[in-house]
């Protein structure tokens, strides 16, 4: 189990109001309860149990709820009674489902039986009685281990606790509040867009706040304004019709691995920048964006050490800048066989699996068109499917390049750093923490925000609340209690902050 140390921001924070602290701790019981319900969306019955459970805890807090039909894997909609019809409506997004588990990889009996742990003097995680989670004093460094303890049941529980804290203080939210809980996020939210479109009136909102994903590794309060999209494809380069004897045909039949190498090499320079003309067109980083990116406290030396690389590709001046550009990544490559199975042949075929991470300025279809044109310009004739004998007789270089069609849930989306929603959230977090949050203009990975943005046409910001070292998607997923309590405090701040578009 790899658990990185998470910097504690708990000690450094201003005092958290007692009703916030109490509401957070009081919610631990429900949190532990819901973590006992398996939530792999491959199992419809489990999603139904989660939806029913969440529906009931939202209702208990006065929300109106409705399960949104989705082939047996319902999404959950919840709406808090309007504070004032004149106030803007903010839709909060979270997801009930979690990654599949391999229990044998977990250092506890079951991923569905949450275990409270603390780190011992040797730095190892040691189980404690679960009762300690429900006692008066909890240590912010303790962590609760279970599937979905962080991703993404914790943020939903934090939102409920924030409502409780407001209520305890006799307040109502400063905005109108809707919630949508996804049921298939870990499968790429294949149904989210369609369900939202079918329930557009219900979900109608002015803004979207996504409660998902990890905070910046520095564990500083974080706002994420966008995410890259993805489209995957396959490049094939054809050699002789069959694998051919490398003695008789080496130096005669062109080797497709070699041709593939030339082709891929032509697509990037020696420092990792794509050389396909136009690939980066449209990406413009203004002075303000550059400043915000430079302000992100990335420890790139530590990052490079963790990756085991001496230098990074030079697509941007730093990590944050690199994520503003579309990527062209060889995620897999094969020709003939390697290792024990290697034979002395000129292989018949070379295959490269590609993934392009897209940005809002670069539509997947446009990148694919640029790539196809570039491959042709390198002298390759592109075929659909296998080349025919006639193709083989006619064209010196044969390749095929196919891409899966891109979907809204895998599209790139970004909200302007100075959009009203950004100003509102930045103001709130700055008030809560006494300093500006880390602002991620664009995260490198792909999340299904695009499906919501596409369906609702609203500006969005992601507000991640869980520790970056939560082992999400792996065994031994965990949530740091300090982050949980701070997350509730963050949400109380947001719900209390009157909306205004001013910075």
Please, what's the b/e burial string for 18-32 (b: 16 or more CB within 10 A of its CB; e: otherwise)?
A: ebbbbbbbebbebbb
One residue of 9, 261, 290, 419 binding a second copy per CB under 8 A? 261
Window of 30-38, 93-101, 129-137, 232-240 that interacts with a second copy by CB under 8 A:
232-240
One residue of 59, 200, 329, 500 binding a second copy per CB under 8 A? 329
Q: Is 62 in the site for a second copy (CB under 8 A)?
A: no
Smallest distance from a second copy to CB 386, Å: 11
One residue of 41, 70, 255, 490 binding a second copy per CB under 8 A? 255
Smallest distance from a second copy to CB 347, Å: 7
Smallest distance from a second copy to CB 413, Å: 14
Cα–Cα distance measured from residue 49 to residue 76, given in angstroms and rounded to the nearest whole number: 12
Q: How far is CA 448 from CA 59, 199, 309, 314, 348, in A?
A: 27, 18, 30, 28, 38
User: Residues 48, 53, 58, CA angle at the centre, nearest 5°?
Assistant: 125
State which of positions 334-363 bind a second copy (CB under 8 A).
334-339, 341-347, 350-353, 355, 357
Smallest distance from a second copy to CB 367, Å: 13
Smallest distance from a second copy to CB 2, Å: 10
Smallest distance from a second copy to CB 157, Å: 26
Cα–Cα distance measured from residue 266 to residue 377, given in angstroms and rounded to the nearest whole number: 11
> Exposed (0-12), middle (13-18) or buried (19+): which is 286, by Cβ within 10 Å?
exposed
Q: Is 265 in the site for a second copy (CB under 8 A)?
A: yes
Q: Is 331 in the site for a second copy (CB under 8 A)?
A: yes
C-alpha radius of gyration, the chain, whole number? 25
Whose structure tokens read 């949400």? 491
Of 318 and 430, CB closest to a second copy: 318
Q: Which one, of 449, 447, 448, 428, lies nearest residue 494 by Cα?
A: 428
Of 38 and 316, CB closest to a second copy: 316
- φ, ψ for residue 207, nearest 5 deg: -150, 160
Structure tokens at 69: 């039909």
Q: Is 382 in the site for a second copy (CB under 8 A)?
A: no
Whose structure tokens read 């004093």? 137
One residue of 113, 218, 392, 423 binding a second copy per CB under 8 A? 392
Contact indicator for 78, 63 with CB cutoff of 8 Å: yes
State which of positions 293-322 bind a second copy (CB under 8 A).
304-313, 315-316, 319, 322
Cα–Cα distance measured from residue 21 to residue 312, given in angstroms and rounded to the nearest whole number: 42
Q: Is 191 in the site for a second copy (CB under 8 A)?
A: no
Q: Is 250 in the site for a second copy (CB under 8 A)?
A: yes
Q: How many residues bind a second copy (CB under 8 A)?
A: 84
> Exposed (0-12), middle (13-18) or buried (19+): which is 254, by Cβ within 10 Å?
middle
Q: Is 188 in the site for a second copy (CB under 8 A)?
A: no
Contact indicator for 322, 197 with CB cutoff of 8 Å: no
Smallest distance from a second copy to CB 326, Å: 8
Structure tokens at 380: 């390759």
- φ, ψ for residue 374, nearest 5 deg: -65, -45
One residue of 70, 244, 362, 490 binding a second copy per CB under 8 A? 244
State which of positions 117-156 bind a second copy (CB under 8 A).
none
Continuous H helices in 87-212: 153-168, 192-198, 200-203
Site track for a second copy across 415-454, x = CB under 8 A: ----------------------------xxxx--------
Identify the H or E element spanning 483: helix 481-496
Of 37 and 253, CB closest to a second copy: 253
Window of 32-40, 72-80, 183-191, 265-273 that interacts with a second copy by CB under 8 A:
265-273
């Amino acid at each position: 189990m790899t658990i990185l140390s998470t910097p504690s921001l708990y000690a450094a924070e201003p005092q958290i109001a007692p009703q916030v602290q109490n509401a957070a701790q009081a919610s631990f019981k429900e949190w532990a309860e819901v973590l006992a319900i398996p939530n792999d969306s491959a199992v419809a019955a489990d999603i139904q149990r989660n939806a029913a459970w969440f529906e009931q805890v939202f209702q208990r807090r006065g929300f109106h709820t409705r399960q949104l039909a989705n082939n047996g894997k319902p999404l959950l909609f919840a709406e808090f009674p309007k504070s004032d019809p004149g106030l803007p409506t903010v839709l909060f997004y979270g997801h009930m489902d979690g990654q599949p588990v391999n229990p044998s990889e977990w250092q506890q009996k079951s991923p569905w039986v949450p275990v409270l742990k603390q780190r011992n003097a040797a730095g190892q995680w040691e189980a404690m009685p679960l009762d300690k989670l429900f006692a008066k004093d909890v240590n912010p460094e303790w962590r609760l281990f279970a599937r979905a303890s962080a991703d993404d049941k914790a943020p939903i529980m934090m939102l409920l606790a924030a409502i409780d804290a407001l209520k305890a203080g006799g307040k109502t939210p400063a905005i109108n509040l809707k919630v949508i809980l996804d049921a298939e996020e870990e499968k790429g939210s294949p149904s989210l867009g369609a369900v939202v479109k079918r329930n557009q009136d219900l979900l109608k909102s002015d803004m979207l706040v996504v409660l998902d994903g990890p905070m910046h590794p520095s564990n500083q309060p974080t706002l994420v304004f966008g995410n890259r999209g993805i489209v995957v494809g396959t490049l094939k380069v054809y050699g002789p019709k069959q694998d051919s004897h490398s003695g008789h045909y080496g130096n005669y039949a062109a080797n497709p691995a070699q041709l593939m190498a030339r082709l891929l090499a032509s697509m990037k320079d020696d420092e990792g920048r794509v050389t396909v003309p136009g690939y980066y067109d449209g990406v413009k980083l203004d002075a303000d964006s550059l400043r915000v990116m430079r302000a992100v406290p990335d420890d790139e030396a530590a990052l490079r050490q963790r990756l085991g690389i001496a230098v990074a590709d030079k697509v941007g001046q730093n990590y944050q800048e690199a994520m503003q550009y579309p990527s062209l990544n060889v995620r897999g490559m094969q020709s003939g066989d390697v290792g024990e199975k290697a034979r002395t042949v000129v292989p018949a075929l070379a295959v490269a699996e590609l993934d392009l991470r897209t940005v809002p300025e670069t539509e997947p279809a446009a990148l694919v068109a640029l790539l196809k044109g570039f491959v042709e310009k390198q002298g390759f004739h592109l075929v659909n499917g296998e080349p025919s004998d006639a193709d083989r007789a006619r064209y010196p270089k044969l390749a095929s390049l196919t891409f899966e069609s891109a979907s809204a849930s895998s599209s790139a989306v970004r909200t302007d750093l100075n959009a009203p929603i950004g100003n509102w959230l930045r103001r709130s977090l700055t008030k809560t923490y006494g300093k500006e949050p880390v602002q991620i203009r664009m995260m490198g990975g792909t999340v299904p925000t695009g499906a919501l943005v596409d369906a609702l046409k609203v500006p969005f910001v992601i507000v991640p609340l869980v520790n970056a070292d939560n082992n999400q998607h792996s065994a031994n997923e965990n949530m740091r209690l300090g982050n949980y309590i701070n997350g509730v405090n963050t949400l109380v701040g947001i719900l209390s902050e009157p909306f205004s578009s001013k910075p």
